[in-house]
Structure 1
Amino acid sequence: MLEVLLSIDVNEAFAAEKADQLTRERETRAAAKDHETSRISRFETAVAEGRMVQVGADSFRVTQGWDAGEVFTVNRDLATGQILEVVPNHGLDVNADGDALLYSAVPPWHSLGNVIPGGISDIDKVLELGGIDFLVDKVPAQYMWDGKLRTKPDSYITVRADTGDALGNVGRIYQQIQNRELFTFLENLVARHGVIWQSAGPLRGGRKVFVSMKVPQNVIVDPGGLDDQIELYVVVINSHDGLSSAQALVTPWRPVCGNTERFAVRDAVHRWDIRHTTGALSRIDEARHTLGLTIQYADQFAIEETALARTDLAIAEFHKLIDELWEPADPSDPTRTRNNDARRRDQLDAMFRAETERAGRTAYAAERVITDYLDHHAARRPARTLTEELGRDRALDVVRATAVLEGGDDKTKTNAHKWLMTLVRN
């Protein structure tokens, strides 16, 4: 399945937006006291307009823009409750000196970590600079009972070998994937050694680590015309806590903090789950096939998307595509069903007309619209218990993220691509 991405560099857009926010916050703090009211007003306006929602006593989550999902902490004066600053959370682990643990080939938006301009290929150095040069052991889970130490059958604890910190509870068949193994896996994945590493770092005390590299070949859609350049990264996110599989992703995001790690998963083009079992990292051919990391894939991707970009698509044909993907409501259907169908069509129609302003009235524009709609706009219904626990907005975010992570709409996206390609071939 071939998904369509924005040609803009999301990493640069995100970094620029974050840098602007931090600059404005510093300027505000340095401004005269009579500017205090306007500063608080901007923050409250963002909350009132739904651009930020409260997710904790003093934390707020952004709902729009390149940093949608980013969490901010509000620091207040303990005596008056007055807002002193709004701080974006990078979520990185820190060392004993309080320095953020991160290796990056480019300066991250939060200006933290160890930056090596242009990056390096030395795996050992990246492990050291990124703070992930530790091994993980698996030890039997034990407990005290009646003054004696007992071992729980088939139950183990993952432990950092350098600190002895417990990372998670796992079962008998769980096999640790060491951090260093991720680098070799990525080199083998792209059949290229000595690659330049883009970023690496730990999260949540090392319970999670990420490593990223740039896909060797950019994809250019409609060269000389639309010139949509798609720059992608290969990211491996390893979990040592037993709560999830490791994942290999092809994504437009270069992780440099806890939020961009989430964005990388959210916007992944392709994903391959790596179970913590013996030999998991040896299935390179399977991973290559799933992730599409071959020159043939890149060539085919560019050929097909360019063909779509050069295929005119009338609005009537776009409506046929909608009918192909979602069966039209019948006059005998309940009112609610007919209303939902009408709303979906109106929204897709509006999105298509907007996209044609940039990409023309083409099959490529139609595919972008379908992908964007499914990922960010399609109606979702969170379970009642989830809504009661998290609130409607957060529950909806969780449901949307789950749909993307689990590939719930992959079949619809694939069907859209296949249908549009029939127009090219005709």
Structure 2
Amino acid sequence: MSDEVESMMYVGETPWHGLGVSCESAPTVEEAIKKSGLDWEVEARHLITHTGEKARHRGIYRTSDGAKLGEVGPKYKPLQNREAFEAFQPFLDTGKAVLETAGSLRGGSLIWVLARLLGDPLTIVPKADDIVRKFILLAHGHQQGRSVKWGFVPIRVVCANTLGAALSAEASRLLRIPHKGDVVGALKRMPEIMNLADQTFEVSAEQYRFLASKGVREKDLLKYVRAAFAGGDPDDGSDEGGGLGGEGGAAPGGDAPPGAPPAPLIPSAEAKRYWLGEQIRRLFETGRGNDRPGVRGTWWALVNGANEYLGYEMGKNQERRLDSFWFARGARINQRLVRIALRFAKNAPSASN
């Protein structure tokens, strides 16, 4: 295992990062806990200052090996791995979902469990067999400032891209449960909230279908990249905020992806923007599933090309992207990619393929 992925399990095909223990069929909670290497507990211990006094903050330690996983405030309530898995039990008992993958990052300090919802997937482009499946994600960390994140995640099957959900829909966002009070009790109430959130998936699917119905004009491609990655608003050229800032231009000066043009030796802001635009263009044209009839040349292909760059090529290694997309700003970034694409697509011509 790498420095980032400590342990994990998965069902079916080997994940894109090539890590983890394979399960031939969907595991039970007990099987998943063991296969994912998460059959351990944590406890909070008082920290001692250099003067020998008890510190206000506490350390979270793994009881199996004494490893320190993080430091937290006095009101922090640990969520045990078993409790995280048991939050999925109502969905498993009713046959609505199966466990798909689970594991830990950064020495056990970050935990995730992902379950796939059964039933009909969302068909975006029928003739391309381009579908999106619905998953339930729980992710949290044994560190200060890490809340429990719980909610629906749409994933495009052809490329395993994690997508942005319904535009401006509160119910579509990952819910945050602070590590305070009755965390387990809050998780037990989640199925009721999730039933409401499920309705937003059809709204999301309609947005994806709309993007697939609109063609991308050459003049709009670089404008989209600037708006989505640098924070500029496509309507007035101002800084909308919430962009990726330096992340979008992080690749220049590093190793370029296979088949990519060389990065500029002196990465000025304009040079980085152009270099990034060429990466997104390449994936827009040749990315996973983007050359299929009904997808090729559309805003749906461009969103997925940008998403593929973020999920597969940006950053120093693949394991860090798990952290980025499931624990950090992934959901917000994906929503931004869809939101800005919808804004451009309103005035775009109909797709020709």
TM-score range, shorter chain: 0.5 to 0.7
The 1:176–1:345 alpha-carbon spacing in structure 2 relative to 1, beyond 3 Å, is: closer
Say yes or no: does 1:358 pair with 2:265: no
Question: What are the Cα deviations for residues 326-381 of structure 1, in whole angstroms up to 9, with x where unaligned?
Answer: 6469xxxxxx998888888887777666688534587x82243145347738xxxx
Q: Which amino acid aligns with 1:358?
A: R
Say yes or no: does 1:417 pair with 2:319: no
Say yes or no: does 1:200 pair with 2:134: no
Pairing of 1:201-220 with structure 2 (within 5 A): 201-217=103-119, 218-220=121-123
Tell me which of 59, 62, 70 is aligned to 1:168: 70
The 1:204–1:129 alpha-carbon spacing in structure 2 relative to 1, beyond 3 Å, is: same
Q: Which amino acid aligns with 2:42?
A: V
Instruction: Give the secondary structure class of the aligned counterpart of 1:300.
Output: helix
The 1:349–1:210 alpha-carbon spacing in structure 2 relative to 1, beyond 3 Å, is: closer
Distance 2:13 2:220 in 1: 42
Instruction: Give the secondary structure class of the aligned counterpart of 2:202.
Output: helix
Q: Which amino acid aligns with 1:182?
A: A
Q: Larger C-alpha radius of gyration, 1 or 2?
A: 1
The 1:168–1:184 alpha-carbon spacing in structure 2 relative to 1, beyond 3 Å, is: same
Query: Residue 101 of structure 2 contacts residue 114 of structure 2 at CA under 8 Å; is this kept in 1?
Result: yes
Distance 1:125 1:161 in 2: 21
- Partner residue, 1:178: 80
- Partner residue, 2:215: 313
Query: Residue 9 of structure 2 contacts residue 35 of structure 2 at CA under 8 Å; is this kept in 1?
Result: yes
Instruction: Give the secondary structure class of the aligned counterpart of 1:325.
Output: coil
Say yes or no: does 1:376 pair with 2:309: yes
Say yes or no: does 1:300 pair with 2:203: yes
Which runs of no fewer than 5 residues in structure 1 stay unpaired? 1-87, 94-100, 255-262, 330-335, 378-392
Query: Residue 132 of structure 1 contacts residue 202 of structure 1 at CA under 8 Å; is this kept in 2?
Result: yes
Say yes or no: does 1:137 pair with 2:76: no
Query: Residue 318 of structure 1 contacts residue 366 of structure 1 at CA under 8 Å; is this kept in 2?
Result: no
Normalising by structure 1, what TM-score? 0.50
Q: What is the CA distance between 1:414 and its match in structure 2?
A: 0.8
The 1:206–1:245 alpha-carbon spacing in structure 2 relative to 1, beyond 3 Å, is: same
Pairing of 1:263-342 with structure 2 (within 5 A): 267=162, 269=164, 272=174, 273-280=176-183, 282=186, 284=190, 288=194, 293-294=197-198, 296-309=199-212, 311-313=213-215, 315=217, 322=224, 325=234, 327=236
Question: What are the Cα deviations for residues 80-132 of structure 1, in whole angstroms up to 9, with x where unaligned?
Answer: xxxxxxxx848654xxxxxxx5444337476864x442122x32332234332
Q: What is the CA distance between 1:407 and its match in structure 2?
A: 2.8
The 1:171–1:352 alpha-carbon spacing in structure 2 relative to 1, beyond 3 Å, is: closer
- Partner residue, 2:54: 151
Query: Residue 137 of structure 1 contacts residue 176 of structure 1 at CA under 8 Å; is this kept in 2?
Result: yes
Pairing of 1:16-95 with structure 2 (within 5 A): 89=2, 93=6
Deviates more, 1:268-277 or 1:132-141: 268-277
Query: Residue 41 of structure 2 contacts residue 64 of structure 2 at CA under 8 Å; is this kept in 1?
Result: yes
Distance 1:344 1:166 in 2: 39
Q: What is the CA distance between 1:228 and its match in structure 2?
A: 0.4
Please, what is the CA RMSD of the aligned residues?
5.0
Distance 1:337 1:90 in 2: 32
Higher helix share: 1
- Partner residue, 1:381: none
